[in-house]
């Protein structure tokens, strides 16, 4: 891909008739824009790879649900086979015992249970140091929830939003998503899919730095449960049932310079492992992971082949 890009770039009419030095400057700039800035392992061409560290949580829920290990390994494999200069590694069983895995990382992605079982709940200060260094932070599904208070404020600062109990809700419903124009949506088509799409998330005040990616108006039946920490509350009922406000189930965040100026995302889907086989669903998350690693997403998105049934069934946790 890189060779093809260089060839097309040098053949561009705006470049071909410029002095050689000017063309070289443009070429170098284009290559830097294509691969971003990173300090990972070099490729065979000497271009450093972006290192992405996945933290997979412990086994949870029924078979086919909250498949943290299998999901992380699937996404990591997709990134490693994309042909892009990305090196993805997976740590299973919660927070890594050997933290040297973070050395050289451009992004950290957590896919795990949340609340008081969140693997980062005792390591939020470490995540904050990573964010201050410009490392991207991403959380998938339950990992966007952490207890309200100091942990919630910390995750809010890291991700730009989080699941706050007695404010956010976690129903299962089919979302139909019309996509905005953003680097994360490159190569992705509008799609619909059923998942446990959390919504009415707690975002930064006035949404500063937050860009919604997947938004929809949930159907009324998503609020059919009595009020509870995850089930409903007067504020979410007013927002959805009365004001008909679109709810954001996936967002990206650009942190201010005072907090490291890095990137982050929160993806509330990921309950059903089978959903990763849906191309638009999987690929928009792959794009987001590459984006928080400060990678310039290709026009058609991160290359990704539909996983086979065998690949989907690999690495599933043994659950009774």
Query: For residue 197, is pLDDT > 80?
Result: yes
CATH architecture label of 36-313? 3-Layer(aba) Sandwich (3.40)
Instruction: Report the distance separating Cα 164 and Cα 318, nearest Å.
Output: 30
pLDDT for the residue numbered 46:
62
Res. 34 pLDDT band, cuts 50 70 90: very low
Q: How confident is the model at residue 29 (pLDDT cuts 50, 70, 90)?
A: very low
Residue whose C-alpha is closest to residue 129's, from 101, 95, 158, 94: 158
Measure the CA–CA gap between 237 and 222, rounded to whole angstroms.
10
Specify the pLDDT at position 268. 98
Relative to beta strand 210-216, strand 247-254 is antiparallel
The span from the CA of 169 to the CA of 162, in Å, is 11
How does the average pLDDT of the chain come out, rounded?
Answer: 88
Domain ranges, ordered by start, for the chain? 1-35, 36-313
Predicted structure pTM score: 0.86
- According to the model, what pLDDT value does residue 261 have? 83
* pLDDT at residue 227 greater than cutoff 90: yes
Give mean pLDDT, residues 44-55.
83
Rounded Cα–Cα distance for residues 252 and 161 (Å): 9
Query: Among 300, 258, 241, which Cα is nearest to 82's?
Result: 300
Q: Which residues, listed in sequence order, are joined to residue 267 by a DSSP beta bridge?
A: 140, 250
């Amino acid at each position: 891909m890189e060779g093809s890009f260089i060839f097309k770039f040098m053949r561009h009419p705006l470049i071909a008739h410029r002095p050689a030095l000017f063309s070289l400057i443009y070429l170098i700039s284009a290559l830097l824009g294509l691969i971003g800035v990173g300090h990972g392992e070099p490729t065979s061409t000497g271009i450093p790879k972006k290192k992405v560290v996945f933290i997979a949580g412990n086994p949870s829920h029924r078979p086919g649900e909250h498949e943290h290990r299998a999901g992380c390994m699937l996404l990591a494999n997709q990134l490693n086979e994309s042909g892009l200069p990305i090196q993805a590694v997976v740590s299973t069983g919660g927070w890594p015992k050997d933290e040297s895995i973070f050395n050289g990382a451009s992004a950290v992605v957590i896919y795990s249970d949340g609340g008081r079982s969140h693997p980062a709940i005792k390591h939020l200060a470490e995540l904050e140091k990573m964010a201050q260094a410009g490392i991207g932070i991403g959380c998938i599904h339950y990992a966007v929830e952490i207890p309200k208070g100091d942990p919630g404020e910390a995750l809010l600062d890291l991700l730009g939003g989080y699941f706050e109990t007695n404010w956010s809700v976690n129903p299962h419903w089919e979302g139909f998503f019309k996509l905005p124009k953003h680097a994360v949506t490159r190569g992705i088509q509008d799609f619909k899919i059923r998942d446990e799409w959390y919504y009415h998330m707690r975002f930064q005040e006035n949404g500063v730095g937050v860009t919604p990616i997947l938004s929809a108006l949930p159907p009324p039946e998503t609020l059919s449960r009595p009020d509870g920490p995850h089930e409903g509350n007067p504020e979410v009922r007013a927002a959805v049932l009365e004001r008909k406000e679109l709810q954001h189930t996936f967002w990206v965040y650009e942190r201010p310079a005072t907090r490291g100026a890095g990137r982050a995302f929160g993806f509330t889907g990921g309950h059903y492992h089978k959903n990763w086989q849906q191309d638009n669903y999987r690929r928009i998350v792959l794009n987001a992971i590459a984006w928080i690693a400060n990678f310039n997403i290709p026009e058609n998105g991160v290359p990704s082949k539909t996983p086979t049934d065998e690949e989907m069934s690999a690495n599933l946790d043994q659950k009774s």
